[in-house]
Chain A
Amino acid sequence: EDKVVQSPLSLVVHEGDTVTLNCSYEVTNFRSLLWYKQEKKAPTFLFMLTSSGIEKKSGRLSSILDKKELFSILNITATQTGDSAVYLCAVGVPRGAGKSTFGDGTTLTVKP
């Protein structure tokens, strides 16, 4: 059975801190790894990673994939209170985006 494990499950930091969120996976046919941010209701897409070692970056957020060790990290630098959210990791397999297996999520709280 495909498995996606995120750590830590929750994290509390102060504004300005840098955080690293982890996602490890065990899937039969890996296709891609996706990160989403869920603030209140709708998860919103952050990154899709398909190749090892290539960093994706968007502002203060960045992510990288290691297909050999089967994990990905999501880094957030200079955190702001608006970064408080649940960060979801999902692994896609060849049958389609809807077959993504989601992790439990990491709840990040950024205090002023």
Chain B
Amino acid sequence: ETGVTQTPRHLVMGMTNKKSLKCEQHLGHNAMYWYKQSAKKPLELMFVYSLEERVENNSVPSRFSPECPNSSHLFLHLHTLQPEDSALYLCASSQEWVTNSPLHFGNGTRLTVT
């Protein structure tokens, strides 16, 4: 495997469910990110981790909870979501957080909240 891998590809969940999104990067990068992509809106940065330490939390509601157990893995834990949280959730990685190196994206998880 190469690049950035996200699972699952699709997820449908009710508002009372708890689920997790998983991201794995095989590029040896030090920084990992969660982005939200909604229809007709620009990509929105949610969280940034650099060397497993959270360095950015962009005013994201607490129903989204990230976890970075090591530099290759990133999770997004979801609970009591709202229908407006339905979107494409993209994970990305980059060589370093501070040097503006290009982002490498996964294929995303298409989340539908019913």
Contacts and interface: CB of A to CB of B under 8 A. Distances in A.
A45 B102 contact: yes
Contacts of A81: none
Contacts, number: 78
B105 A102 contact: no
A99 B4 CA distance: 19
B99 A96 contact: yes
Consensus secondary structure, chain A interface: strand
A41 B88 contact: yes
Given A88-B43, A103-B42, A98 B33 contact: yes
A31 B96 CA distance: 15
Given A104-B41, A104-B42, A99 B56 contact: yes
A97 B102 contact: yes
Given A42-B106, A104-B41, A104-B42, A97 B97 contact: yes
Most buried by B among A42, A43, A44, A92: A42
Interface in B88-114: 88, 90, 92, 94, 96-108
Given A42-B4, A42-B90, A104-B40, A97 B45 contact: no
B54 to A, nearest CB: 11
Interface string A15-41: 000000000000000011010100011
B74 interface: no
A61 to B, nearest CB: 15
Interface of B: 4, 31, 33, 40-43, 45, 48, 50, 55-56, 88, 90, 92, 94, 96-108
Q: Which 9 A-B residue pairings sit nearest by Cβ, starting from the closest?
A: A41-B107, A98-B48, A45-B102, A92-B100, A102-B43, A96-B97, A42-B105, A102-B42, A97-B94
Interface of A: 4, 31-32, 34, 36, 40-45, 48, 88, 90, 92, 94-105
Given A42-B107, A96-B100, 11 more contacts: A41-B106, A41-B107, A42-B4, A43-B103, A96-B97, A97-B100, A98-B45, A98-B55, A98-B92, A99-B48, A102-B42
